[in-house]
Amino acid sequence: MEYRKLGNTDLALSAITYGAFAIGGNMWGGNERKDSIAAVHASLDHGVTSLDTAPFYGFGLSEKIIGEALQGKDRTKVQILTKFGLVWDGSNNGKGEYFFDAEDNGKSLPVYKYASKENLIKEVEESLQRLRTDYIDLLQLHWPDTTTPIDETMLALQQLLQQGKIRAAGVSNYSVEQLQDAGKTITPASNQVPYSMLNRSIEKEMVHYVREKKIGIIAYSPLERGLLSGKYFSGAKLKDDDHRNGYFGQFDPEAVKTLLTALAPLAEDKGASLARLVLRWTTQQPGITVALAGARNAEQAASNAKSMDFTLTQQELDFIQAQLQQL
C-alpha cells in the first residue's frame, strides 16, 4: 500500500481508501452487518488505513458500523473521513436547498443540502457519537449548499479545527470557483469528486487548480459503482431497490464492454482483475491523492487493497489512454 499526504495537512491516507456508502444499505439493496464489519477489518488487515463514510449513508448506519468495527483497533493508525451537510430528518426546519427524496423502509424522506454553522456543529457531535471517537481526521462538506454563504461554512470548519474536533477540513463536489471562494477563508485540504475512466471532466480545469493550490483530490466512483469491474456483463444482477439500475443507464453498454475487453489482457498480464486494474490506473493519474473503493465483504475489500500490488508503466498507461480516446 502507498500512503499519500493530503493537501497541506499532516494526514497520510492510504492510496486505496475504503468507501463505506454501500454498507449503509440504503440505495444499494441492503447489506449484512457482519459482512460490512468483516469488510472494514479486511481493509485494515491489507494496509487500507483510511475509511470514508457520511451520515447520509444508511441514515447514520454506515458511521455506526465503522465505529463498531474500529473497537479494539489503534485509533491513531486509522483515518476516519466523514461528511456533513445532507439533512433528512427534518431538523433543518425547511432551511437549506432541497436535493431529492430518499427512501427509508418504504418511507419517502426529503433530503436537503444544509451547510450552516449551526447544522455543521450539530452534525459533528452526532457523527462523533456514532463513530465512537472524539475526533474526525477529515470532515468534508458533502454537497455545496447555495443557501449558506461559503465563508460561514468555512469559518465553522476553522472553529472545529481550532477545537481539535477535526484534524483537517475538506469539501466534496465543489467547482473550481467554489474552491476559490472557500480559499478566501481557509484552503480546503481536499475536494472529493467523481472521477473514472468514463468520467474525466475534472481533467479540464480542476486537476490543474488543485495541484497549483496543493489541494488533494479524493476520487469517488472510480469503478462507476461496479460497472467497470465487468461483472455486470457476465451475469451479475442488481436487486430491484439498487439505485444502479438507473445509474448505469447513462453509459453506452457496448462502448464500456469494448473498453473492458481491450483492457482484459493487460489485467491478466498483471495478475489482476479488471477492477484492480481500473483502481490502479486511477491512483496513477495526475492530481489524484486517493481512490475510494467500496466493498460489501472481506473478499472484495482484500481485492481492492491488492490494486496497489503492481504498477502500470508509462507504456501501459499510454495504451489505456488510447483505448479511452475511442470512447
* 57 catalytic per annotation: yes
Q: What's the CA gap between 226 and 248, in Å, rounded?
A: 9
CATH tag for 3-226+283-309 (out of 3.30.70.520, 3.10.290.10, 3.20.20.100, 1.10.150.120): 3.20.20.100
The answer to which of 16-25, 39-48, 178-187, 190-199 has the lowest mean pLDDT is 16-25
User: Per residue in 70-119, pLDDT tens?
Assistant: 999 999 999 999 999 999 999 999 899 999 998 877 788 999 999 999 99
Structure confidence at residue 199 (pLDDT): 93
Q: What's the CA gap between 318 and 324, in Å, rounded?
A: 10
User: Per residue in 142-182, pLDDT tens?
Assistant: 999 999 999 999 999 999 999 999 999 999 999 999 999 99
Q: CA-based diameter of the chain, in Å? A: 56
Q: Look at residue 120 and tell me whether its pLDDT is greater than 60.
A: yes
User: Per residue in 256-291, pLDDT tens?
Assistant: 889 999 999 999 999 999 999 999 999 999 999 999
Q: Which residues of 302-326 are buried (b: 16+ CB within 10 A; e: fewer)?
A: bbbbbbbeeebeeebeebbeebeee
Q: Which residues of 7-44 are buried (b: 16+ CB within 10 A; e: fewer)?
A: bebebebbbbbbbbbbbbbbbbbebeeebbbbbbebbb
Q: Which of 18, 57, 195, 220 does the annotation list as catalytic?
A: 57
Domain borders along the chain are: 3-226+283-309
Structure confidence at residue 43 (pLDDT): 97
Helix (H) or strand (E) holding 264: helix 253-269
Structure confidence at residue 28 (pLDDT): 45
